[in-house]
Structure 1
């Protein structure tokens, strides 16, 4: 569903409103998608061309949930923690836009008419949030393809046993499978260590499982490797000791940054100009999750998930992880 909104660059900041003002440009805001923390709306022109600031952009609006940062905090967190780690053309960009009163109510009414995931039907926009974010649109051009992939842990956990036959991502996947659970990451059916393997056949195996689009797979195997390498090296630098040995405020802060980089999304799309790849979902993980992360790590170790020595009733021969294939 869509609503008509009016965009203006008069005043201190660009803004969207439901009321037409002088020099405002009419456009449609259309529900596109949502995650656990944000809604995504496409911006569609009406009679006139969109202004340059809106071209190639989507509108991201935070949800009214207690654990979600305000939009201003999200922008500051991104700029302070992640923006400078990667080349500008390798990350989804964020620009603040002001939201006038009444816009959230109109969008919430439109959201009510959308078929949404059942566990998110109680999620809405807050009425008192003054800002939204214009983010890079990574949807493909007409006739082209796109891919969302979770790189996850591109290095083994520093706390894993020396004789591990599963990396951290594959160990957690196996544990979830024993409980009948399967996340979108699990469905990728590949080992993150293959993404950055020095052997092209490993990378090819992983990317062919991630996408059937041969051009995207070829790009990920070759041209995307510098970006994967930066992501891997930052994970190593920010978390050198592992969650079970992290210490001090600085260590915990950097661990949270590393865990964010282990849960970000790589958006890859083909266009008439070529293939573009950007990292997104770089929302800072908060220290209150430290206890949960430690509990997960201890269980993966103590229950034998790293070593493929889990309880007999749940045991499955590991066939995906590169560590198992190379052992």
Structure 2
């Protein structure tokens, strides 16, 4: 028995004009991610769930998809000249009112789920088609009406056929904050994580249990950091060599970009005129995706691809600059750049 190989569209734009159905996958502070199935035309239906759609939330801090894509092409892509393959491919998709209405109805229904009445297994089983759950702090925020947003952004679904693991991590600040004390024992990321763990006053992603600067190290230090994101109990030592060869150059480039766009200290936030916070903060909040496949013979894991995502320019509207300034002031006033408790920062080890 033989089956004809059916190649995938080379770019998300190949689905332009196709009729799609949205399936809720996950959401962050600003966007909701949907898997998409193709309802027509028939030749493209085999590509269902090979792509995901990102739709922005109806918040003052989110930009229309058309502007987001324009910013990406004009401001982000040139920073990766010659290495554009590292960037997640994206394409605009024209929505229709029915898609938005159906997606918002689903979100309202999901808001009605009582988390307190569910077991931990139920809460973790968000992929169940009959039980989708929004975390309590994501509730009651929906998609903009069609009159205000007519487009979504299509991207490849990296966890496609033949892929065993899709690992995501946020490198965050690979260089120190310009306003941190010179004798700081915590980098900006470790200082913020220490404050969040102790005070529990701020929510956010990025606390993966390691110092981001360790991702550019080698030996046991790198292996210790990777153990926090590695999907298996074994094999991290072997993967560290692959990570050093294929991922560290990407992170080194990202670090250089953060260094070049470093107007992100307290004084910058307090005197924002002429500062490009949108780009600088985007470079500090992007995600890295590692596409992994188990080897058929001999064990081990192959790194199939490395992609950078979440590189939307940050908006400075809605009090964002003031929020960043307050956060930096809290880190300074609270002594979090010096806190040694619950911290294993590279800066502290280097000064020991």
TM-score range, shorter chain: 0.7 to 0.9
**What whole-Å deviation, never above 9, does each CA across 1:159-210 have from its counterpart, x for those lacking one?**
2112111111101111112213674422x1100111123x343222211222
Instruction: Output aligned runs, 1:276-287, within 5 Å.
Output: 276-287=305-316
- Contact 1:56/1:136 (CA < 8 Å) preserved in 2? yes
Instruction: Output aligned runs, 1:1-327, within 5 Å.
Output: 14-15=16-17, 27-45=20-38, 48-50=42-44, 56-86=50-80, 87-111=83-107, 112-113=109-110, 114-127=132-145, 128=147, 129-142=149-162, 144-180=164-200, 183-186=204-207, 188-197=208-217, 199-213=218-232, 214=235, 218-239=241-262, 242-245=265-268, 249-250=273-274, 252-253=275-276, 255-271=277-293, 274-287=303-316, 288-308=319-339, 316-317=340-341, 319-327=343-351
**What whole-Å deviation, never above 9, does each CA across 1:200-238 have from its counterpart, x for those lacking one?**
432222112222344765543331111101110000001
- Contact 1:140/1:270 (CA < 8 Å) preserved in 2? no
Q: How many residues align?
A: 295
Looking at structure 1, the residues matched to 264 and 163 of structure 2 have their Cα atoms a distance apart, in angstroms, of 46
Question: TM (normalized to structure 1)?
Answer: 0.80
- Contact 1:31/1:40 (CA < 8 Å) preserved in 2? yes
Deviation, 1:72, is 0.8
Of residues 203-212 and 163-172 in structure 1, the stretch that sits farther from structure 2 once superposed is: 203-212
Aligned to 1:10: none
4+ residue segments displaced more than 3 Å? 25-28, 45-49, 51-56, 140-143, 180-184, 212-219, 240-243, 245-250, 271-274, 316-319
- Contact 1:189/1:210 (CA < 8 Å) preserved in 2? no
Looking at structure 2, the residues matched to 245 and 62 of structure 1 have their Cα atoms a distance apart, in angstroms, of 28
Looking at structure 2, the residues matched to 302 and 27 of structure 1 have their Cα atoms a distance apart, in angstroms, of 51
- Contact 2:222/2:240 (CA < 8 Å) preserved in 1? no
Question: TM (normalized to structure 2)?
Answer: 0.74
Structure 2: unaligned runs, 5 residues or longer: 1-14, 111-131, 295-301
Deviation, 1:240, is 5.7
Structure 1: unaligned runs, 5 residues or longer: 1-12, 16-24, 309-315
- Provide the secondary structure at the position in 2 that maps to 1:82: helix
- Provide the secondary structure at the position in 1 that maps to 2:44: coil
